[in-house]
Amino acid sequence: MKLLNSLIRKSLPILPKSLVGMVAKRYIAGISLEQALRKVRELNSQGYIVTMDVLGESARTLSDTLPPVTMYLNVLDAIKSSGLKANISLKLSQLGLSIDPAHAWVQFSRILHKAKAENIFLRIDMEDSSLTDATLNVYRKAREIWPEGVGTVIQGYLHRSLDDVRSLMAEGTNLRICKGIYKESPRIAFTDKEEVRRNTIALITEMLSAGQYVAIASHDLQIIQSIRDFVTEHQIPRDRYEFQSLLGVPIDRTLKDLLNDGYTVRYYIPFGTEWYAYASRRVLENPDIGGYIVKDFFTFWQK
């Protein structure tokens, strides 16, 4: 199976989109809003809370930024009208940050003000390092409008992240801490897996020690156990943090154990037509992907 996994990773750029799609359904909640809402209801019924994300990033033209804004407004309406235990997250490049920051702010503001009116928390996702400063600028500007309703993300693999966390904590903040997935230069990012793990844990414990809200977004079992040990030892109140996981990542048993032990657990639920880039990243990082493809292939032909 290791050989198959390696072959799939190397062949991914030339694999038919349909083959990637066979596995993508593990990681996305569907193409339509209705499909995503069904998944949210299912997870809510099991005790999980949810973050909904409209897939897409790096808009090529300003007109490309308009459909996702409309969809986010519809998502917010659906969360409110259905009484779902859910919030939203978005990528600013999807709204044109790389093309025209002023335009991106206008589009983002439409979503921000709708979220504020509906009292639904909004998380600004972090992207590659070329957008880190611009994303934090938007986040700080958004907090001036709704300080308690907006959060962002800090990535454990960047050298700068501890300084960013401390700077943001001085202002008051709500952060999701994750390892990070974009390919970055060793000049600015840790490349050793253990270094990334240690730095990610350090960022999380820094926030927990300061009493500021932190979302622990990891499927690394060592990180999860380290944080469980830390919050137990330091008696950190459970309303100061939550555990988060991506849909489809194979740690369901661990998440269920966390939920049964009284921790808050949130699933990240992406959906939409722009699924290919997201699913491809999940394929590349998942060591068990070969088995999923084989299983899905035979399931498909048995139908």
Q: Respond yes or no: is residue 125 known to be catalytic.
A: yes
- Give the pLDDT of residue 303: 38
Selecting among 125, 143, 164, 282, the annotated active-site residue is 125
Q: Where in the sequence is the domain holding 184, given as residue range(s)?
A: 29-274
pLDDT tens for each residue of 9-43: 555 555 556 666 666 778 889 999 999 999 999 99
176 is catalytic: yes
Q: Which listed residue (143, 176, 197, 282) is catalytic?
A: 176
Number of neighbouring beta carbons within 10 Å of residue 155: 27
Does the pLDDT value for residue 287 go beyond 90? no
Residue 17 in domain? no
The answer to whether position 283 is within a domain reads: no
What stretches of the chain adopt beta strand conformation (E)?
49-54, 86-90, 122-124, 150-155, 175-178, 214-217, 241-246, 265-271
- Residue 14 within a domain: no
pLDDT in the model for residue 57: 85
Asked whether residue 99 carries a pLDDT value surpassing 80, the answer given is yes
Residue 194 in any domain: the answer is yes
Distance separating alpha carbons of residues 123 and 173, to the nearest angstrom: 11
CATH number at residue 254: 3.20.20.220
In a domain, 301, yes or no: no
In a domain, 69, yes or no: yes
Q: Is residue 254 scored above 70 in pLDDT?
A: yes
Q: What is the pLDDT of residue 250?
A: 80
The mean pLDDT value for 226-252 works out to: 95
Whether residue 220 lies inside any domain: the answer is yes
Across 129-142, average pLDDT: 98
Give 166-218 pLDDT, tens digit per residue.
999 999 999 999 999 899 999 999 999 999 999 999 999 999 999 999 999 99
Q: How many domains in the chain?
A: 1
Residue 295 lies in a domain: no
